[in-house]
Chains A and B, each alone.
Chain A
């Protein structure tokens, strides 16, 4: 039973594709986190809950009889304003405080969001049906849900669009300038307040897209946000801030690693293996850092 994956090579193809497709989706969430972490120096514990809220928006339009895939357009629009409002209401008060305050504040937001979603949408686990069917490869031995392919495709599309927007647009330049040096940007006439609000809004919008995709690929429940926060946190830790290609690679890499850990170590060690990897990476980073310091001395 052990190492089934080596006996059936098709499983390896299946595991790789599953891991990569899911990894891309997680990378999108992580990118939002990296963006506002980099710009505002805030670790958003409510990230996963924003994702789930985005999912519920898609689920709501699905209940109205609209295809849930439209959620990838409607949900980010609504979520952008949710993010903007959240910034004006809470985040602007913690943005230049230390990290602990912001973690505490976003943790509070996470709890409020969970309870609100529970109140509005109920505690039942829900799914939206895309009816996209399945792609079968290699004589039906590898099956890929089209909804997963769709969500990976949409994630990539939005990620590319965002990169271009960041490079070309005025707001994008302002965001990048603020990330590099907020004070200097302010002196040069950048309205950093607006930049922060927009950044938080963009992050929430990215969560909205991811949520809509999750509603058709996985399941929704008011209290499942935290795993998404943790996952994107790990991806960002591995990739570093403000480096989109690294976030994408690290997202896919973690997805792959997790799938293979499932086959080789067993399902129960799947999450544990990812955490172990995280610890190793952090230790390695620390090690590298201490070497550097010695060198500087």
Chain B
């Protein structure tokens, strides 16, 4: 037994040694590879969106490498990503970021999934002055801390539903509207709420219900009963996928009639698939939709991206994948403009980014957020039980007319 144990220990140490020497051989640029690092949620509560993110990254790496890679000082390089599973745990994510930077020698990072994890990693990348392009942390607080090495290709959370308020005001003949809102008590949803507060002030709208839902939210009956009693012009809900699913379930069951319903996370929640006709007319904020007319030379259009993604991974790309792919395009562009692997040169090039990708225009504001791309709203529309998301705002990209007001439940079949 003792012998076996000894043998086992030797074996393990040998493997560890081999691994260490193997991993430390990675550096920022190894041979013809530019090595990027990312902690990503492959297990735990964010695992589905984590996988969407990873698929987006991988798809872009493959495409860029296939189309000639990144040209720096006349030499062609390819992208390669080291992934670690952060188990959807912020502490773990921060540790892994540290490990990627210190042990694996990674000099450029891609973001994790979710605002919470990005918040955990950003101080680490900032400390080591590692440029990080992230695609899945939208919380406003990420962009107010003065981070210099953080760049986000997506619109910040406070912009998610502002468009919806503008739309409601527009439908009301430019006059302010009565808003009922229910937001989960987490960083992201509260940022969305701040955006609504701004929009309400700007448009002279009145907030008549302002409920903060608990994190373990599974029941909104009280909020919805209030909504029924006060009859607002627009109901705004944000509470990740659980919030979206709970809202539609209870709105339909309690027959709550509101002229307009706007929320977040509809596509991640597969709202129209899980709730079918009941979800019709819901407005959903989205970072991206495949029907938008943005273009780039790597993926072509959004439609083409969606087709290729479907072929590769077997499902329609959610916006989490699209924005993750865009992050790689941003890195490629920055490397080529910097024409160097110096971290600060790359960082400065990132600051000056101004480009169009299939995902949208990208230009970073002073806090690192993308200021060039508006949020879009789509509306769930159904034919029989077959529902799809159609872009209705902003008007420039609208493929369909915004259906307003939502018919009363008594008139819906």
In the bound assembly, the distance between CA atoms of A79 and B255 in angstroms comes to 34
In the bound assembly, the distance between CA atoms of A226 and B215 in angstroms comes to 12
In the bound assembly, the distance between CA atoms of A123 and B268 in angstroms comes to 11
Query: Given B229, B240, B242, B253, which contacts A4 in the complex, CB threshold below 8 Å?
Result: B229
In the bound assembly, the distance between CA atoms of A195 and B269 in angstroms comes to 43
- Note all chain B residues with C-beta closer than 8 A to A129: 274-276
Q: Are B211 and A266 in contact (CB under 8 A)?
A: yes
Interface residues of B in 216-274 (CB under 8 A from A): 216, 218-219, 221-223, 225-226, 228-230, 240-242, 245-246, 249-250, 253-256, 269-270, 274
In the bound assembly, the distance between CA atoms of A278 and B103 in angstroms comes to 48
Query: Given A22, A118, A143, A226, which contacts B47 in the complex, CB threshold below 8 Å?
Result: A118
Q: Are B222 and A18 in contact (CB under 8 A)?
A: yes
- Note all chain A residues with C-beta closer than 8 A to B222: 15, 18, 259, 262-263, 267, 270
Q: Are A219 and B182 in contact (CB under 8 A)?
A: no
In the bound assembly, the distance between CA atoms of A134 and B253 in angstroms comes to 6
In the bound assembly, the distance between CA atoms of A31 and B290 in angstroms comes to 50
- Note all chain B residues with C-beta closer than 8 A to A118: 43-45, 47
In the bound assembly, the distance between CA atoms of A266 and B49 in angstroms comes to 32
Q: Are A226 and B225 in contact (CB under 8 A)?
A: no
Q: Are B246 and A218 in contact (CB under 8 A)?
A: yes
- Note all chain A residues with C-beta closer than 8 A to B270: 124
* A224 interface contact, C-beta 8 A: yes
Query: Given B209, B213, B241, B255, which contacts A140 in the complex, CB threshold below 8 Å?
Result: B255
In the bound assembly, the distance between CA atoms of A224 and B314 in angstroms comes to 29
* B172 interface contact, C-beta 8 A: no
* B214 interface contact, C-beta 8 A: yes
Query: Given A22, A221, A267, which contacts B182 in the complex, CB threshold below 8 Å?
Result: A267
* A108 interface contact, C-beta 8 A: no
Interface residues of A in 253-287 (CB under 8 A from B): 259, 262-263, 266-268, 270-271
Q: Are A219 and B255 in contact (CB under 8 A)?
A: no
- Note all chain B residues with C-beta closer than 8 A to A266: 211-212
Q: Are B254 and A219 in contact (CB under 8 A)?
A: no
Contacts A18-B225, A134-B254, A221-B242; A123 near B218 (Cβ below 8 A): no
In the bound assembly, the distance between CA atoms of A268 and B213 in angstroms comes to 6
Q: Are B225 and A14 in contact (CB under 8 A)?
A: yes
- Note all chain A residues with C-beta closer than 8 A to B269: 124-125
Residues of chain A at interface, number, CB under 8 A: 43
Most buried by B among A125, A226, A263: A125
- Note all chain A residues with C-beta closer than 8 A to B250: 145
* B167 interface contact, C-beta 8 A: no
- Note all chain B residues with C-beta closer than 8 A to A123: 44-49
* B72 interface contact, C-beta 8 A: no
- Note all chain A residues with C-beta closer than 8 A to B241: 124-125
Q: Are B254 and A8 in contact (CB under 8 A)?
A: no
- Note all chain A residues with C-beta closer than 8 A to B208: 1
In the bound assembly, the distance between CA atoms of A22 and B228 in angstroms comes to 20
Query: Given A134, A143, A226, A263, which contacts B216 in the complex, CB threshold below 8 Å?
Result: A226
Q: Are A122 and B48 in contact (CB under 8 A)?
A: yes
* A222 interface contact, C-beta 8 A: yes
* B58 interface contact, C-beta 8 A: no
In the bound assembly, the distance between CA atoms of A134 and B222 in angstroms comes to 16
In the bound assembly, the distance between CA atoms of A143 and B227 in angstroms comes to 13
In the bound assembly, the distance between CA atoms of A64 and B241 in angstroms comes to 23
Q: Are B225 and A11 in contact (CB under 8 A)?
A: yes
Residue of B nearest to A10 (CB): B229
Most buried by A among B221, B245, B256: B221
Q: Are A271 and B255 in contact (CB under 8 A)?
A: no
* B95 interface contact, C-beta 8 A: no
Q: Are A115 and B226 in contact (CB under 8 A)?
A: no
Q: Are A147 and B274 in contact (CB under 8 A)?
A: no
* A171 interface contact, C-beta 8 A: no
Q: Are A268 and B212 in contact (CB under 8 A)?
A: yes
Contacts A140-B255, A266-B211; A224 near B249 (Cβ below 8 A): no
A18 vs chain B, min Cβ distance (A): 5
- Note all chain A residues with C-beta closer than 8 A to B46: 123
* B340 interface contact, C-beta 8 A: no
Q: Are A1 and B242 in contact (CB under 8 A)?
A: no
Q: Are B48 and A271 in contact (CB under 8 A)?
A: no
* B185 interface contact, C-beta 8 A: yes
Interface residues of A in 141-198 (CB under 8 A from B): 141, 143, 145, 147-148
Residue of B nearest to A136 (CB): B255
* A127 interface contact, C-beta 8 A: yes
Q: Are B253 and A147 in contact (CB under 8 A)?
A: yes
In the bound assembly, the distance between CA atoms of A170 and B49 in angstroms comes to 51
Q: Are A127 and B245 in contact (CB under 8 A)?
A: yes
* A81 interface contact, C-beta 8 A: no
Q: Are B216 and A219 in contact (CB under 8 A)?
A: no
Q: Are B219 and A126 in contact (CB under 8 A)?
A: no
* A107 interface contact, C-beta 8 A: no
Q: Are A125 and B254 in contact (CB under 8 A)?
A: no
In the bound assembly, the distance between CA atoms of A159 and B25 in angstroms comes to 64
In the bound assembly, the distance between CA atoms of A222 and B230 in angstroms comes to 35
Query: Given B218, B226, B228, B274, which contacts A227 in the complex, CB threshold below 8 Å?
Result: B218
- Note all chain B residues with C-beta closer than 8 A to A227: 216, 218
A/B interface sample: 8 pairs, CB < 8 A: A1-B209, A15-B225, A18-B222, A124-B48, A127-B275, A218-B218, A262-B222, A271-B214
Interfacial residues, chain B to chain A (CB-CB below 8 A): 43-49, 182, 185, 208-209, 211-214, 216, 218-219, 221-223, 225-226, 228-230, 240-242, 245-246, 249-250, 253-256, 269-270, 274-276
Interfacial residues, chain A to chain B (CB-CB below 8 A): 1, 4, 8, 10-11, 14-15, 18, 22, 115, 118-119, 122-127, 129, 134, 136, 140-141, 143, 145, 147-148, 218-219, 221-224, 226-227, 259, 262-263, 266-268, 270-271
Known: A123-B47, A127-B249, A270-B214. 8 other contacts (CB 8 A): A15-B222, A18-B222, A122-B48, A222-B45, A227-B218, A267-B182, A267-B212, A271-B216
